[in-house]
Amino acid sequence: MTLPPSVFLIEVCPRDGLQNEREIVPAGKKVAFVEALAEAGLHEIEVTSFVSPKWVPQLADAAEVFGKLKRREGVVYSALVPNVKGMERAIASGVRKVAVFTAATETFCKKNINMTFAESLQAFLPVVAEAKKNGIAVRGYLSTAFGCPYEGNVPPTQAAIAARRLADLGCDELSIGDTIGVAAPPGVEALLGLLKFPKDRTALHFHDTHGTAVANAFTAAQMGFSRFDSSAGGFGGCPYAPGAAGNVATEDLVYAFEKAGVKTGVDFPKLASASRAIGEALHKRPPSKALAALGPMLPNTETNLK
Ligand code: HMG
Ligand code: MG
């Protein structure tokens, strides 16, 4: 098996994890969580979203969270931005990397951002222009790249064409999303083989609904991709993708890659402690398998999780 010597993990739990929880975590606990993740060695953290609070009330406190956050040198703190209004709010909060987000399928796009795919690209044009003017990096998310909760299976060519159009806006990075966690290694290989964007600027965003996310990440890593989105504890899901589980747990990727001799730079006990704390705030046990297996061997295992 040919794997890269190291991978870069982009921590998305503060955004993807918390956006889908019934419980709204207070801003102070979100800030402590992000700071603990940085302390655990995660060098890029998706902190929140500057979206409509009517659509995602869980992240309505985005400006407050950024305002209170103590930022570490060398760590990228990013946020989702769907439109110019979101971009203005992000700039006011001093955000240095934003993510626009669209989808390979029209129905999901409409349900998630109330725009067609073409309308979303139009809406992102001024966002990307503003980002370039201010030296802000732009990630472009392509959701439903492997399957859609409304349209079913997505042919790799359809996703590859959508990815190309998103990249052509001037995105610095793409993140290819298996929003509902239906992909398996052959499908991953098929789509990634069609992408015409640099591998070192392409992240893979696997949700773990069917337990295939770690296998998918390894498939991508064998093809030379080394950037992976993951969620501390495995929390997450999209409010507009019913039934989807969280992202692959950061703990599960750290365990699997380190075990395979691939460096992640993440301190497992510190990460575990951050995941436990956010689990307590959510009154939920983190779904991560590696955390469940290794957690009892780590300090501070006494929790009141259900
Ligand atoms: P809309 O209702 O069509 O837009 O929503 P609107 O322009 O009519 O705005 C509605 C209200 O929201 C207005 O307020 C606006 O001012 C306000 P009102 O006049 O009614 O009081 N508004 C905003 N407020 C704050 N910040 C903003 C903003 N924009 C409008 N940026 C819109 C369109 C795009 C705004 C909405 O659909 C939206 O916010 N969607 C976001 C949904 C979302 O965050 N989904 C989850 C993230 S995507 C995901 O999880 C997938 C991913 O993880 C990858 C994967 O797994 O595949 C990334
Ligand atoms: Mg997601």
DSSP state of 231: B
**Residue 304 located in a structural domain:** no
Asked if residues 174 and 202 have their Cβ atoms less than 8 Å apart, the reply is yes
**Residue 306 located in a structural domain:** no
Tokens representing residue 149 in the block: 């909760």
In the chain, the largest separation of any two C-alpha atoms, in whole Å, equals 51
Distance 247 CA to ligand 2 centre (A): 6
**Residue 242 located in a structural domain:** yes
Distance 95 CA to ligand 1 centre (A): 18
Domain total in the chain: 1
Asked whether the predicted pLDDT for residue 222 surpasses 80, the reply is yes
- Ligand 1: residues with CB < 6 A are 16, 19, 49-56, 80, 82-83, 85-86, 89, 101, 112-114, 141, 143, 177, 179, 205, 207, 238, 240
Element (H, E) at 133: helix 117-133
DSSP state of 74: T
Report pLDDT digits (tens) over 61-116: 999 999 999 999 999 999 999 999 999 999 999 999 999 999 999 999 999 999 99
What's the chain's Rg over C-alpha atoms? 18
pLDDT at 300: 59
Catalytic residues: 238
Segment 143-160 mean pLDDT? 98
pLDDT at 217: 98
pLDDT at 238: 83
Residue 37 and residue 11: Cα distance in Å, rounded?
Answer: 8
Closest residue by Cα to residue 204 from 219, 300, 196, 194: 219
Residue 196 and residue 23: Cα distance in Å, rounded?
Answer: 40
**Residue 152 located in a structural domain:** yes
pLDDT at 16: 96
Distance 34 CA to ligand 1 centre (A): 23
Tokens representing residue 29 in the block: 């606990």
Asked whether the predicted pLDDT for residue 249 surpasses 50, the reply is yes
**Residue 186 located in a structural domain:** yes
**Ligand 1 pocket mutation, candidates 13, 20, 52, criterion most atoms within 8 A of CB:** 52
Kindly state the percentage of the chain with pLDDT values over 90.
Answer: 92
Asked whether the predicted pLDDT for residue 302 surpasses 60, the reply is no
Report the interhelical angle of 250-259 vs 268-282 (nearest 10°): 160
**Residue 77 located in a structural domain:** yes
**Residue 142 located in a structural domain:** yes
Segment 251-260 mean pLDDT? 98
- CATH number, position 54: 3.20.20.70
Q: Which domain range does residue 169 map to? A: 8-297
Asked whether the predicted pLDDT for residue 305 surpasses 60, the reply is no
Residue 71 and residue 131: Cα distance in Å, rounded?
Answer: 20
**Ligand 1 pocket mutation, candidates 10, 18, 47, 51, criterion most atoms within 8 A of CB:** 51
